[in-house]
Structure 1
Amino acid sequence: MTETADIAPLPTVDGGFKTILADPPWRFANRTGKVAPEHKRLDRYSTMSLDEICDLPVADVSAKNAHLYLWVPNAMLPDGIRVMEAWGFRYVSNIIWAKRRKDGGPDGRGVGFYFRNVTEPILFGVRGSQRTLAPARSTVNMIETRKREHSRKPDEQYDLIEACSPGPFLEMFARYPREGWSAWGNESGVEVEPKGQQHRGYAGGSFDQVPLLDSYERMSPRVADRIANLMREEYEQGRSIRDLAEETEYSIQRVRTLLRRSGAKIRARGRGAADDDAELEQAV
């Protein structure tokens, strides 16, 4: 149990944060209405009661016109709306995280009393009058990626938020610091080791979190830059283009284009090395 008196003050900026992302440590109740016991063996994180979450002075650090992206479990949607209102925001829409297997199908390892959950919503709220930025007009309200460590959310959320909402940005209950964001939470420091297990393969350039794309789909420049840099790190450590294509399930053509985007020096290959760069750019 987390006592609010022990929680560090929220950071502040002049004029307030225009965009806030929050993933509160919700406390579940079991079917009898009693608080569900926390699993001591897993020791993942401390939870907070609904009142404790509502009492956080988020309105005090928010801009007059601002956006809120609030993660909430499917079973606690009404609580999410209550928290949003307590923080000074009104609910207007949502984004759905669809958890996928490597083959693109729904990841059926989720839990739930009534259905096996393969989705998780982000409630989107507005304070004052704050439109989304122009890229939002062509951004769908769904993120489709593979699951990572327990309760860790997909990195693609940052690409979406940064493209659709203005800064300055604040992440509450952050697990890791992110460049360009203010991070608040007991696991957000660079020196803090997250309590949740970090699955093998998720550290140091893993591609388990890359977006699933059809051959004709293009990714945003921000996402393309992030994945291109990951690929360059792996490629310069000796991975082949074919290896990267198999792991990401992207075409060899797309992988080569991303590597070139990152400035990687492409190693000699069997067939002619001269590709039409203009044609390749169409694949990203």
Structure 2
Amino acid sequence: MNAQSPAPLRPELEPAPLPRTVGGFATILADPPWRFANRTGKVAPEHRRLDRYSTMSLDAIKALPVAQVASKNAHLYLWVPNALLPEGLEVMKAWGFRYVSNIIWAKRRIDGGPDGRGVGFYFRNVTEILLFGVRGSMRTLAPGRSQVNMIETRKREHSRKPDEQYELINRCSPGPYLELFARHPHPNWTVWGDEAAEDQVPRGRLHKGYEGGVILPELREHQHLSEETTAALSIELKRRYEAGDSVRHIAEDSGYSIQRVRSLLQVAGTTMRPRGRTAA
């Protein structure tokens, strides 16, 4: 009697459109739902736990139009399992980035020793790789020059990456920030993804910016903007202003100060209306 084949994994879902921001995202973090397979082409038995969320084929991941939503000069942080390192490099190239370095997540026990609960055909994996790529020309920020390329923390629930990654990325790379395949919202980040855990936000939920059009990037107070982002933002704010939005309405919608809105409108050479009036 033949053993019954395991139930099939969840079907691959059609991805929602990627969010867009004026000037493009300068920093992108991605943790794709990689699909493991053994030499027969079937899903490897030790990865049956991947049934907890939808996986994607390599071609589907590579086909995501990441280059279209990234800024001209941008950073990419791409999580990849040890066994799929070549595939990770393929994805990075397909998305328009060149590989330059990596960050290693060393999973620790409570006593500081290596967490030996990982899986693998040849070795028990206690690390994961965060590939770092660059598009165009953009160095890391000043704090990045002294940042070591290792994160050492305890392992959390299945597939969840360490929260320390956000602090590291915020220190080393400029915004606006986009997280692909996100599972949880995070301050100052635009998130996109098919959340995995069933007790989280419903799978496939569309976040702000998914339904077409561009969103304005979140800006910290006194944040320096590149010439490219300043030009793109000024043009978008001018378009909204000339369509009838007031300076105050643009400020409330974007979270920018009125002074910043007026400054950006000035960059675009906007002809200002008398205060308190909207376009007819």
Question: TM-score, normalising length from structure 2?
Answer: 0.65
Equivalent residue number for residue 169 of structure 1 = 177
Equivalent residue number for residue 122 of structure 1 = 130
Equivalent residue number for residue 89 of structure 1 = 97
Equivalent residue number for residue 223 of structure 1 = none
Partner SS for 1:71: strand
- For structure 1, list consecutive stretches of 5 or more residues without a partner in the other structure: 196-284
The alignment covers a number of residue pairs equal to: 192
Max Rg structure: 2
Report Cα offsets for 1:116-146 as digits up to 9, x if no partner. 0000000000000010000011110000000
Partner SS for 2:84: helix
* Superposition map of 1:1-284 within 5 A: 2-3=11-12, 6-36=14-44, 39=48, 43-187=51-195, 192-193=200-201
**Structure 2: distance between partners of 1:115 and 1:193:** 35
Report Cα offsets for 1:172-208 as digits up to 9, x if no partner. 000001010000002299x93488xxxxxxxxxxxxx
> CA, structure 1 residues 188+124, in 2 after alignment: closer, same or farther (shift >3 Å)?
same
Q: Letter of the aligned partner of 1:83 in structure 2?
A: V
Partner SS for 1:39: helix
Partner SS for 2:169: helix
Q: Letter of the aligned partner of 1:142 in structure 2?
A: M
Contact 1:90–1:127 (8 Å) recurs in 2: yes
Q: Letter of the aligned partner of 1:150 in structure 2?
A: H
User: Percent of pairs identical after alignment?
Assistant: 76
Contact 1:175–1:194 (8 Å) recurs in 2: no
Cα deviation, residue 31, structure 1: 3.8
**Structure 1: distance between partners of 2:11 and 2:96:** 23
Contact 1:27–1:49 (8 Å) recurs in 2: yes
**Structure 2: distance between partners of 1:184 and 1:28:** 22
Cα deviation, residue 33, structure 1: 3.5
Q: Letter of the aligned partner of 1:39 in structure 2?
A: R
Cα deviation, residue 44, structure 1: 1.4
**Structure 2: distance between partners of 1:115 and 1:84:** 26
Contact 1:177–1:188 (8 Å) recurs in 2: no
- For structure 2, list consecutive stretches of 5 or more residues without a partner in the other structure: 1-9, 204-280
Output the aligned Cα RMSD.
2.1
Cα deviation, residue 3, structure 1: 4.2
Q: Letter of the aligned partner of 2:146 in structure 1?
A: S
Please list every run of at least 4 consecutive aligned residues from structure 1 whose deviation after the TM superposition is greater than 4 angstroms.
1-4
Contact 1:27–1:36 (8 Å) recurs in 2: no
